[in-house]
Amino acid sequence: MARVLDVAKYILHKKGPMTTMKLEKLTYYCQAWSLAWDDVPLFDEEFEAWANGPVCPQLFEKHRGMFVVDEDIFTDSGSIQNVFSEDELETMDNVLEYYGDKEPQWLSELTHKEAPWKIARAGCAPGAYCNEVITKESMQSYYGGL
C-alpha cells in the first residue's frame, strides 16, 4: 500500500509546485474518493479536522514551515513508479482533473461544508485547535453517497 507521502509526491509531480494547504486538501480528496469509488484507502495515515480543513499530520511534518512546495521535498522517499495500481492512478487523476485547478482557500471552504470534517469537529469552536481524526468510515459514507 502507498503512503501519504507517495500520494503527495504524485500530486506535485502531476500539478507542479503548490501551497501546502492545497497539497493537504488534494491529498485528502484523493483518499476520500478512493474510499468512495474503490472501497479501499490509498494509504493508512489519517486526517485530522484542523481549523483550516483536513490535515494529515505525517504530511504536515514533511512540509512544516513551508508555504509552497514541489516534489523535491520528497527526494528521500524514493520513486513513485510502480507504487500505484491502475485503479489508484485513475482515481488520483480524476481527483486532480476536478479539484486540481481550484484555489487553496476554495478547497478549504469546501471541506468545511462537508460532513466528515464537520462531524470530527463537533463541539470545537470555529478556529479552535482540534486533532480529532476524520474517520475513513465517515469519508467513505459521505463521498460514496454523493
Residue range 86-137, pLDDT digits in tens: 999 999 999 999 999 999 999 999 999 999 999 999 999 999 999 999 999 9
pLDDT digits (tens, 9 = 90+) for 39-88: 999 999 999 999 999 999 999 999 999 999 999 998 776 677 789 999 99
**In the chain, how many domains are there?**
1
Nearest-angstrom CA–CA distance, 141 and 146: 9
Residue 78: the pLDDT is: 65
Instruction: Give the pLDDT band (50/70/90) at residue 8.
Output: very high
How far separated are the first and last CA of the chain, in Å rounded? 26
Name the pTM for this structure.
Answer: 0.96
- Host domain of residue 14: 4-144
Q: Are 146 and 36 in contact (CB under 8 A)?
A: yes
Distances (CA, A) of 66 to 17, 20, 119, 125: 12, 7, 29, 26
